[in-house]
Structure 1
Amino acid sequence: MSTLALHQVSRWFGDLVAVNDVTMDIGPGVTGLLGPNGAGKSTLIALMSGFLSPSAGSVTLDGEPTWRNPGVYRHLGLVPERESVMEHLTGRAFVRANAELHGLPDPGAAAERAMELVEMNDPASRVIRTYSKGMRQRIKMASALVHEPAVLLLDEPFNGMDPRQRMHLMELLRQMGSDGRTVLFSSHILEEVEQVARQIEVVVAGRHAASGDFGAIRRLMTDRPNHYVVRSSDDRRLAAALVADPCVRGVSLRPTGGLEVEATDFGRFTHVLPRVSRDLDVRLVEVSPTDESLESVFSYLVSS
């Protein structure tokens, strides 16, 4: 059972602050590191894996610093988002080379076991430059698993995988978490995290925005105020009726036509709007959410 601990960690590159005062513990099981693109997820994973030094704070694995400590790699595996493979090698040679670097007693057998885990035995004799994006992801995964690490870090591991490959990798991560390994993977896609992880760490603009069970984080996201543009055949009558309902925090007329509506209860609003329009005999022309991007959801978590 291994634990990664980040304590008041910051990392800056010149004037750019990529990670700002992050404290979190990553323990056994599967943890999802969730955030929009550019939030600092890759920087955090590089800090956890010892590829970057913190500008401030500390990153430790079972009490040992990850920076300038090659010994941690006996217990840690990394699947980076960026391509970091030697394309002229076959998949088998690449994974075996990593087994040899770890000084395993039977590197050939270890490589075969790791490739079988990720279903890469058949294409293992091909050179990596001929692989698809999904195959490259899986051969990197095999290389990271060849020494059976207690901690596995994966940066956007599902990118480029087809649905079957994605389902297989999700099941593999769930199984490793159930076996007591510490698994952390990053994603900007909520549905990916939902299917694999129960523990969630949310980062936005380099800040630690939320932490906890997936259900609790999901409720925070669902309960945030929702903003809509509504166009109808009679905007003023519709506005007067909507603002009287407790699920609507505010309604304003737009200069270009239509309404801007802020609803505090998404579920209730989806029933109230059609009912009110029907009762008033007002025809709905457009109902569009204006803040459904992940960035807006995560920004709400930061401020809540």
Structure 2
Amino acid sequence: MTVMTVADVSRWFGNVVAVNDVTMSVGPGITGLLGPNGAGKSTLINMLAGFLPPSAGTVTLDGAPVWKNPQIYRSIGLVPEREAAYDVLTGHQFVVANAELHGLPDAGAAAQRALATVQMEYAQDRKIGGYSKGMRQRIKMASALVHEPSVLLLDEPFNGMDPRQRLHLMELLQAMGAEGRTVLFSSHILEEVERLASQIEVVVAGRHAASGDFREIRRLMTDRPHRYVISSSDDRALAAALIADGSTTSVSLDSTTETLEVDAVEFLPFAELVPRVARDAGIRLYRVSPADESLESVFSYLVAI
């Protein structure tokens, strides 16, 4: 089991603090790294990849320091956000060069496997300078996978990809996470993170804001009311019963959708309240669903903190 650990890490550039006292662990499976632009995501990934030293704290791979430790690159594959390919090379030449840099015994065969994995065989003999943004992303992915690393660090890997390419990369990352590889990726497209990541790490203004399953994170936000959408056999009677209880702060009836919108102060008391009230009043519940437990809602709350 491969685990990357960030312990009390800060990184500053002159007077600018890019990462401020961050501690987190990234283990097997898929972890999504979230944060607004300028939050420090790329700086964190560069420190995890050993390209930047922490100004304070430590970054380790299975207990071994990452900085100035070339051996880690046997285990790490990196897809940076910035372009990292030579336009004069063909896709095949670029991936073979990376295989040779890793000292693989059969660089050509390893390159072919990696190109096939990202579905780039059809363009392998074309120069990278003529590739689209999505093709460049996939050739970078091939170079990151050529040595079959146990850890993948991906900085905005979906940028420039069309829907088909995006779907294929999602399936590829899901398969790697299921194999037990450690995958960390950043993305500004929350739908991708919600579909892929079993764990999220959120950074805001360089600080670590939250860690874990986003639904659990939402339930721990006790300072914010939980919003629910409810439909029943008698919405008006249910609204009157719910607003009388101290666990709700507001109840409104949406006549267009014929549903109730309820803000509840506490998750567990409200979860117990609704079925009890409905049973006592003889009301049938058709739907009770959270309206703000999506990753988008959780992220917007965290960014606003």
Task: State TM-score, norm by structure 1.
Answer: 0.76
- For residues 222 and 84 of structure 2, the distance between their equivalents in structure 1, rounded to whole angstroms, comes to 38
**Percent same amino acid among aligned pairs?**
70
* Deviations 1:28-85 (CA, angstroms, capped at 9, x unpaired): 1111111111111000000000000000000000111111111100110000000011
Give secondary structure in 2 for the equivalent of 1:200. Answer: strand
**Residue equivalent to 1:170:** 170
Matched with 2:302 is 298
Unaligned runs of 5+ in 2: 227-242, 251-262, 271-295
Distance change >3 Å, CA 220–CA 161, structure 1 → 2: farther
Distance 1:298 1:194 in 2: 16
- What stretches of structure 1 move > 2 A for 4+ residues in a row? 217-226, 243-249, 292-300
Contact 1:203 1:209 survives alignment (8 Å): yes
Aligned to 1:87: 87
Unaligned runs of at least 5 residues, structure 1: 227-242, 250-262, 269-291
Question: How far, CA to CA, are the matches of 2:91 and 2:220 in structure 1?
Answer: 43
CA distance in 1, matches of 2:38, 2:191: 19
Q: Is residue 18–residue 205 contact of structure 1 (8 Å, CA) maintained in 2? A: yes
- Per the TM alignment, residue 223 of structure 1 is displaced from its structure 2 partner at its CA by 8.4
How many residue pairs match? The answer is 251
Q: C-alpha separation between the residues in 1 aligned to 2:131 and 2:249?
A: 52
Q: Which residue of 2 aligns with 1:18?
A: 18
CA contact (8 A) 2:214 2:298 kept: no
User: Residue type matched to 1:118 in 2?
Assistant: V
Asked whether the equivalents of residues 36 and 295 of structure 1 are also in contact (C-alpha less than 8 Å), the reply is: no
> Does the 8 A contact of 2:156 with 2:185 survive in 1?
yes
Between the aligned partners of 2:64 and 2:192, the Cα distance in structure 1 is 31
- 1:299 to partner: Cα distance: 2.6
Once residues 119 and 220 of structure 2 are traced to their aligned partners in structure 1, the CA distance between those partners, rounded to angstroms, is 38
Q: Secondary structure at the match of 2:115?
A: helix
Is 1:192 aligned with 2:196? no
Cα 1:17/1:147, change in 2 over 3 Å: same
State the shift of 1:208 in Å: 0.5
Corresponding residue for residue 55 of structure 2: 55
Q: Distance in 1 between matches of 2:60 and 2:195?
A: 28
- Opposite residue 88 of structure 1, the aligned amino acid is V
Please tell me the residue identity of whatever aligns with 2:207: R
Give the deviation of 1:215 after TM superposition. 2.6
SS at match of 2:173: helix
The alignment's C-alpha RMSD in Å is: 2.7
